[in-house]
A and B are shown apart, each in its own frame.
Chain A
Amino acid sequence: MVTETTKGKYNVIGTRPIRHDGYDKVTGRAIYGADVKLPGLLQGAVLRSPHAHARIKSIDTSAAKAMAGVHAVITHADFPAAEAKLVDLGEGAVNFHYASNNVMAAEKVLYKGHPVAAVAAVDKNTALEAAAAIKVEYEVLTPVTRVLDAMKPGAPIVLEDLEGQDLGEKIVGPTNQANHFRHEFGDVDKGFAEADVIVEHDFDTAMVHQGYIEPHNATATWDEEGRITVWTSTQGAFAARRQVAGILRTSDSNVKVIPLEIGGGFGGKIPTYLEPLAAILSRETGRPVKLLMERSSVFEASGPTPGSWMNVKVGVKKDGTITAATADLRFDAGAYPGSPVGAAAMCVFSAYDIPNTRIDGYDIVVNKPKTAAYRAPGATHAAFAMESVVDEICEKIGMDPLEFRIKNGAKEGTRRADGPIHPRIGAIETHQAAMASDHWQSKLEKNGPDGKLRGRGVATGYWFNIGLKSAVTISVNEDGTVALTEGSTDIGGSRASIAMQAAEVLGIPVESVRPHVADTESIGYTDVTGGSRTTYATGYAAHDAAQDVVSQLRERAAKLWDVDPEEIEFANGSYQSKSDPELRLTHKELASRLGSTGGPVVGSASVDPEGAGGAYSTQIADVEIDPETGKTDVIRFTIVQDVGTAIHPSYVEGQMQGAVAQGIGWALNEEYFFNDDGAMVNSSFLDYRMPTSLDLPEIETIIVEVPNPGHPFGVRGVGEVPIVPPVATIANAIHDALGIRLRETPMNPGRIRAALDEKG
């Protein structure tokens, strides 16, 4: 279902064309990172730490090096000493010293799966055998994997050189606390004193993984000039270039990254892992080298999203007005600083208008893989805590949960608890659409078959979205089609959504636009596909580049008719003289005359837009639970979301549905399970259970369109906010079914059974 706000306004936007890259993807022709083949290609393998925390005493590579077919073996000693400086990657920042140590351990290994050596050999099996022949002597250290344990005095220290911060002050002595910040507004003590009802709880969430189906991969060459070329599946070719250059201590321009098709990322394919290793192996062998990550290492050694401990406290008056709220958010960053706790703090209260707030955020290092972005990073955790507390408040004061959210809802002009003022947003409209939905209006029969019990939950979520830099060039072909070159890797239909925006401006069919994702030497700087920015910012650049084409074509028409360009009107793909309406040429006709009016036309634009605008999603879940086994089935799910303007509604719905599916997995099953030695023990798709088609119901979508004033077509980012509410939505539905509140994830059968036993 799509609301009708954009209806009739556009020719191309809002339609559902077949995506340009679709044919290659349904026939197996599309080339993903693992499919790259180069002459003389060597295959690599990585030796990884079996320990979660250990000092490397020695590495003996002699036996591996002596094996037939082995071309090179490298360790951290083959890496240049990286600079300890923080560099922005668009979504998140990187400290190259830590990034270098993360891709190849230096003195210590900090998590199970941490690379300690890598091999290049004639084939995969030889490389694996050689890796197994490397002897590493470790001094095993005590690991720490939980945030609260890592914060205790006397906890094992993960990074001896970490300079911790507490409220802007440097921490003296060793610590696992990378940072503690605070946002404070109003007077929370006064606010809580005014409250009639106060609810406060602790929450605990397990580390989870993005779960993209394509493992990480990288192929690289290092030539005689010292120039590095990398073929990889990445969310950002320029971000990969910056990391490779930073880790290998060369300039960005010395590295060329060729992005291949990418099999999912969700934030997890922003960091580089194998790329620098493949490059160094190529430097050592003089041959191209390819590395593929095994699935177990994807779990153990890529960048999952943190486990967390949180406390949220909210006070309300009897009439439902929120008077004060506090949040204490403690996130595990993994082995190096940089959890998404900052983003969690930006989101935790942002669906509401609250006069008095305080938010504390802690970034804590632990012996787990370094976390990376995962779809609205940090916001899902925060919403789980906040929306569970809000649900309990609504129950206590006897108020409809959607009415409560409308009453206290953030709107244009509301100040976010971390400072910024909301521009035009669609929180209230989203709640209203949820309220009017068939799902919310329908009655749920509380008793299911075979003694199963049913419940309904609702929750909302916010994500701020980002803008950042994008470049697009459009060249006009003589047959009237255009080639559109962009730097945003296409993870889920963005070639189409960007091409549609160009087609809309040019007044041509979307099939006449041929979008192409280029390497770092063929397009201007473009930030990562992340932060829900691609359709927004790269779409913005496509709009501006198309306008550049229009203005150049207008000049060509003026030249042909010998009139002033101002004399020419452009509408619906036609150029027409205002004074002599007989003089009229379509885009296509004009394109065929370019050769005789000055040569080819190329339009271009580079943008860094500020007005990404925030997005809201409100979700409704019906669950059916077997109290005997504790198993939860989601029997109906509706997602409502403000998307600004839906460029390609099918792919907008796809983002909404896919995120909900991930959120349901996060809520009910998924977790990193660590043993006492700090090792992840469920690093396979068999044991890390992601939802299958059989585990999920149809996911109903309701698109709300409150156009974003910060984009020429009103686009808001859509990819991330849909994963913010699902965990809380399911928790609230479980409460409705069973009368128990689970404040730990996953809410698996064991936890449900235990909570039922406790309730008695």
Chain B
Amino acid sequence: MVEKVRVRATLNGEPVDFLVAPYISLLDTLRDELGLTGTKEGCNDGNCGACTVNLDGRIVDSCCVLGAEIDGSTVETIEGMAEPGRLHPLQQTFLEEAALQCGICTPGFLVSAKALLEKEPHPSEERIRFWLAGNLCRCTGYDKIIKAVQKAAELA
């Protein structure tokens, strides 16, 4: 048995302190060790974006980061996006614009889109399509996702 590593980080605004085996991905750490299953696995090799989280202000595929690597970092997942009782504008516009069908890609898209709007509050359609190209959706054809992001940008 490999010895576990102690990790202290800020997760969705709360301090966390846990032990994790050094070979466990951040995705599995979130899902299996910390009980946050909102972050999804689509490929486990960095090619679908379903596992997108925000790590110290950058979006990353959590399947390609180790859980042990977040020591000292700030991580935001889909579970940290809404205020208690109030959805983030993107969550609201995704619902209004029917930007999800099966919903498995949705957490990843929301975390990615939030990072975009924080960086660039009024991106063009082309820019949104470029930014979200790391997130695969097989259900929607992307159209309603793009519209939902545009609508959230207009509301801001």
Chain A residues proximal to chain B, CB less than 8 Å: 16, 18-19, 21-23, 25-32, 34-35, 37, 124-125, 210-215, 261-266, 292, 294-295, 491-493, 648, 650-651, 653-655, 657-662, 684-686, 690, 692-696, 698-699
Cβ contacts under 8 Å, B81 to chain A: 27-28
Apart from A26-B91, A650-B97, 5 more pairs, CB < 8 Å: A25-B103, A28-B37, A35-B31, A653-B144, A658-B141
Residue from B79, B110, B143 within 8 A of A698 (CB atoms): B143
Q: A26-B87, A32-B104, A685-B47 are in contact. Are A211 and B138 (CB under 8 A)?
A: yes
Decide: A264 and B139 in contact? CB cutoff 8 A: yes
Decide: A660 and B42 in contact? CB cutoff 8 A: no
Q: Which residue on chain A has the smallest CB distance to residue B80?
A: A28
In whole angstroms, what is the CA distance A658 to B105 when docked?
13
Decide: B43 and A694 in contact? CB cutoff 8 A: no
User: Closest 4 interchain pairs by CB?
Assistant: A28-B38, A263-B104, A492-B101, A661-B141
Q: Is B48 an interface residue (CB 8 A)?
A: yes
Decide: B146 and A693 in contact? CB cutoff 8 A: yes
Chain B residues proximal to chain A, CB less than 8 Å: 21, 23, 28, 31, 35-45, 47-48, 50, 77-79, 81-82, 87, 91, 94-98, 100-107, 110, 128-130, 132-146
Decide: B96 and A27 in contact? CB cutoff 8 A: no
Nearest-neighbour CB distance to chain B for A167, whole angstroms, equals: 39
Question: Which residue among B21, B77, B137 has the maximum number of chain A CB atoms within 10 Å of its CB?
Answer: B137
Question: Which residue among A32, A211, A214, A696 has the maximum number of chain B CB atoms within 10 Å of its CB?
Answer: A214
Q: A28-B78, A213-B48, A699-B143 are in contact. Are A295 and B138 (CB under 8 A)?
A: no
Q: Which residue on chain B has the smallest CB distance to residue A22?
A: B95
Q: Which residue on chain A has the smallest CB distance to residue B131?
A: A693
Q: Which residue on chain B has the smallest CB distance to residue A126?
A: B1
Q: Which residue on chain A has the smallest CB distance to residue B42?
A: A213
Q: A264-B102, A264-B138 are in contact. Are A650 and B144 (CB under 8 A)?
A: yes
In whole angstroms, what is the CA distance A263 to B103 when docked?
6
- 9 example contacts (A-B, Cβ-Cβ < 8 A) are as follows A27-B78, A211-B138, A213-B136, A492-B101, A657-B142, A692-B134, A694-B129, A694-B133, A698-B146
In whole angstroms, what is the CA distance A210 to B138 when docked?
8
Residue from A28, A264, A662, A690 within 8 A of B77 (CB atoms): A28
In whole angstroms, what is the CA distance A308 to B35 when docked?
45
Cβ contacts under 8 Å, B136 to chain A: 213, 685, 690, 692
In whole angstroms, what is the CA distance A651 to B103 when docked?
13
In whole angstroms, what is the CA distance A24 to B100 when docked?
12
Q: Which residue on chain B has the smallest CB distance to residue A722?
A: B141
In whole angstroms, what is the CA distance A221 to B97 when docked?
40
Nearest-neighbour CB distance to chain B for A517, whole angstroms, equals: 13
Q: Which residue on chain B has the smallest CB distance to residue A36?
A: B37
Decide: B138 and A213 in contact? CB cutoff 8 A: yes
In whole angstroms, what is the CA distance A124 to B24 when docked?
10
In whole angstroms, what is the CA distance A265 to B36 when docked?
24
In whole angstroms, what is the CA distance A299 to B10 when docked?
37
Cβ contacts under 8 Å, B97 to chain A: 650
Nearest-neighbour CB distance to chain B for A138, whole angstroms, equals: 27
Decide: B110 and A491 in contact? CB cutoff 8 A: no
Cβ contacts under 8 Å, B21 to chain A: 125
Decide: A685 and B48 in contact? CB cutoff 8 A: yes
Decide: B95 and A18 in contact? CB cutoff 8 A: yes
Cβ contacts under 8 Å, A657 to chain B: 140-144
In whole angstroms, what is the CA distance A593 to B82 when docked?
39
Decide: B101 and A658 in contact? CB cutoff 8 A: yes
Decide: A654 and B101 in contact? CB cutoff 8 A: yes
Nearest-neighbour CB distance to chain B for A548, whole angstroms, equals: 30
Question: Which residue among B39, B44, B134 has the maximum number of chain A CB atoms within 10 Å of its CB?
Answer: B44
Decide: A658 and B38 in contact? CB cutoff 8 A: no
Cβ contacts under 8 Å, B139 to chain A: 264, 491-492, 654, 658
Residue from A295, A493, A690 within 8 A of B45 (CB atoms): A295
Nearest-neighbour CB distance to chain B for A302, whole angstroms, equals: 14
Nearest-neighbour CB distance to chain A for B44, whole angstroms, equals: 6
Cβ contacts under 8 Å, B91 to chain A: 26-27
Decide: A28 and B79 in contact? CB cutoff 8 A: yes
Nearest-neighbour CB distance to chain B for A688, whole angstroms, equals: 9
Decide: A686 and B142 in contact? CB cutoff 8 A: no
Cβ contacts under 8 Å, B41 to chain A: 34, 215, 292
Nearest-neighbour CB distance to chain B for A701, whole angstroms, equals: 9
Decide: B138 and A28 in contact? CB cutoff 8 A: no
Cβ contacts under 8 Å, B143 to chain A: 653, 657, 696, 698-699
Q: A28-B107, A654-B101, A654-B139 are in contact. Are A125 and B129 (CB under 8 A)?
A: no
Cβ contacts under 8 Å, B40 to chain A: 32, 34, 213-214, 263
In whole angstroms, what is the CA distance A654 to B37 when docked?
26
Cβ contacts under 8 Å, A265 to chain B: 102
In whole angstroms, what is the CA distance A746 to B135 when docked?
23
Nearest-neighbour CB distance to chain A for B128, whole angstroms, equals: 8
Decide: A35 and B37 in contact? CB cutoff 8 A: yes
Q: A27-B87, A211-B138, A213-B138 are in contact. Are A295 and B98 (CB under 8 A)?
A: no
Cβ contacts under 8 Å, B79 to chain A: 27-28
Q: Which residue on chain B has the smallest CB distance to residue A489?
A: B102
In whole angstroms, what is the CA distance A295 to B43 when docked?
5
Decide: B42 and A295 in contact? CB cutoff 8 A: yes
Cβ contacts under 8 Å, B134 to chain A: 692
Cβ contacts under 8 Å, B129 to chain A: 693-694
In whole angstroms, what is the CA distance A294 to B47 when docked?
13
Decide: B145 and A214 in contact? CB cutoff 8 A: no
In whole angstroms, what is the CA distance A58 to B140 when docked?
46
Nearest-neighbour CB distance to chain A for B91, whole angstroms, equals: 4
Question: Which residue among A25, A26, A32, A654 has the maximum number of chain B CB atoms within 10 Å of its CB?
Answer: A26
Question: Which residue among A212, A266, A694 has the maximum number of chain B CB atoms within 10 Å of its CB?
Answer: A694
Q: Which residue on chain A has the smallest CB distance to residue B100?
A: A25
In whole angstroms, what is the CA distance A659 to B143 when docked?
12
Decide: A693 and B100 in contact? CB cutoff 8 A: no
Nearest-neighbour CB distance to chain B for A26, whole angstroms, equals: 4
Decide: A684 and B43 in contact? CB cutoff 8 A: yes
Cβ contacts under 8 Å, A22 to chain B: 94-95, 100
Q: A27-B79, A685-B43 are in contact. Are A493 and B141 (CB under 8 A)?
A: no
Decide: B98 and A19 in contact? CB cutoff 8 A: yes
Q: A27-B87, A694-B133 are in contact. Are A492 and B102 (CB under 8 A)?
A: yes
Decide: B78 and A23 in contact? CB cutoff 8 A: no
Decide: A694 and B130 in contact? CB cutoff 8 A: yes
Residue from A25, A685, A693 within 8 A of B142 (CB atoms): A693
Cβ contacts under 8 Å, B78 to chain A: 27-28
Cβ contacts under 8 Å, B28 to chain A: 124
Decide: A684 and B47 in contact? CB cutoff 8 A: yes
Q: A264-B104, A685-B47 are in contact. Are A26 and B95 (CB under 8 A)?
A: yes
